[in-house]
Amino acid sequence: MIDDSQQIMKEMIQSNSIEQLMEFMSKVKPNILNLDCGKKQTILHIAVQKNDYPFLRFLEQYSQDNYKENEIRKLVNTYNIEIFTALHIASYNGNVQAVRILINMGADIALKSGSGLLPIHAAAQGDQPYMVKWYWIQQGISINAKDDAGNTCLHWAAYQNCELTVSYLISFGCNMDQKNNEEQTALHIGASYGQSRVVKKLLIKGAQRNIETDSYPLI
């Protein structure tokens, strides 16, 4: 069950009355730890989806003022109904400021989504090469890191036809011929889904066309 203050917060979120919501929270001090904003989203999910930096900063300070460190860590690492954390969403959006706040609140950069993706993979899916580079340089996450299916950032960028991220990953020195759990390279993925420009880019940069699998013949 939710109390009256939580119902008021949900209504303010639905009406996009964020400034009024922050004023209300400052006065009433409602509990946000177990607040379900719909589809199991926390209030942090809402803030990053809106790309609302002032609201997220407010939530960071509000959490620090009202909750213990372990409570904040649990909140920031909560999954929504699609089994994504707020960090995955912020990474997909390429919002470095939001990512920094979430990590400062205790977000786990090694926590995978329900489908086995790290936040760096979400950044690649969203065609956010600077976010990918930030995880690599600032957080030490390998650009060749694999998800649970063995896919790297390059696999995901090829699948989503993210040409910019493909170009940057190649320039970063990623392993273009890395295979996933089904023995597929990014070139196989790109060719399979008709991403002709990505395929051309990979071939020009030296991706091996003679890697064959049972499911994917020679390119």
Are 147 and 211 in a shared domain? yes
Q: What local confidence, expressed as pLDDT, does residue 115 receive? A: 96
Domain that holds residue 141: 112-219
Q: What percentage of the chain has pLDDT greater than the value 90?
A: 94
Give yes or no: residues 79 and 160 share one domain.
no
Q: The tokens of 58 are what?
A: 């407010």
The 10s digit of each residue's pLDDT in 35-81 is: 999 999 999 999 999 999 999 999 999 999 999 999 999 999 999 99
The pair of structure tokens assigned to 63 is: 């959490």
Asked if residue 155 is part of any domain, the answer here is yes
Residue 217 has pLDDT above 60, yes or no: no
Q: What CATH number is given to the structural domain containing 177?
A: 1.25.40.20
Claim to verify: residue 82 and residue 28 sit in the same structural domain: yes
Total number of domains constituting the chain: 2
Whether residue 134 sits in one domain with residue 56: no
What crossing angle do the helices spanning 129-139 and 96-104 adopt, rounded to 10°?
A: 40
Give the Cα-Cα-Cα angle 60, 79, 14 (nearest 5 degrees).
65
Average pLDDT estimate for 90-117: 98
Residue 164 and residue 95 share a domain = no
2 confidence band (pLDDT: 50, 70, 90): low
Per-residue confidence (pLDDT) for residue 156, from 0 to 100: 98
pLDDT band at 219 (very low <50, low <70, confident <90, very high): very low
What pLDDT digit, counting tens, does each position of 133-168 carry? 999 999 999 999 999 999 999 999 999 999 999 999
DSSP state of 102: H
Q: Which helix (H) or strand (E) holds 93?
A: helix 86-93
Q: Each residue of 160-216: pLDDT tens digit?
A: 999 999 999 999 999 999 999 999 999 999 999 999 999 999 999 999 987 666 555
- On whether residue 107 sits in a domain, the answer given is no
Residues 162 and 126: their CA atoms lie apart, in Å, by 8
Stretch 101-119: mean pLDDT: 98
Give the whole-angstrom CA distance, residue 118 versus residue 68. Answer: 26
Domain match, 125 and 70 both: no
Return the residue matching tokens 């699609």.
Answer: 82
Q: Is the pLDDT of residue 20 over 90?
A: yes
pTM equals: 0.93
